[in-house]
Amino acid sequence: MTSSKHSSSRGHCTLVGAGPGDPELLTLKALKAIQTATVLLVDDLVSDEIVAFAKPGARIVHVGKRGGCKSTPQEFIEKLMIMAVREGENVVRLKGGDPFIFGRGGEEVEHLQAAGIEVTVVNGITAGLAAVTSLGVPLTHRQHAHGVVFVTGHAKPGDEGTDWRMLAETAFKAKLTLVIYMGVSGAGRIQNELLTGLPATTPVAVIQNATLANQRHIATTLGELAQAISDSVLASPSVIVVGDVVSGIAAATEHPAQFKTA
Q: Per the residue annotation, which of 22, 43, 81, 98 is the catalytic one?
A: 43
CB 23 within 8 A of CB 49: yes
Residue 65 appears among annotated catalytic residues: yes
Tell me whether residue 260 is one of the annotated catalytic residues.
no
- DSSP codes of every residue in the chain: -HHHHHHHHH-EEEEEE-BSS-GGGS-HHHHHHHHH-SEEEE-TTS-HHHHTTSPTT-EEEE----TTS----HHHHHHHHHHHHHTT-EEEEEESB-TTSSSSHHHHHHHHHHTT--EEEE----HHHHHHHTTT--S-BTTTBSEEEEEES---TT-----HHHHHHHHHHHTEEEEEES-STTHHHHHHHHTTTS-TT-EEEEEESTTSTT-EEEEEEGGGHHHHHHHHT--SSEEEEESGGGGHHHHHHH-GGG----
Q: Is 83 a catalytic residue?
A: no
Select which of 1, 22, 182, 244 is catalytic. Answer: 182
The catalytic residue among 22, 65, 95, 98 is: 65
Catalytic residues: 43, 65, 182
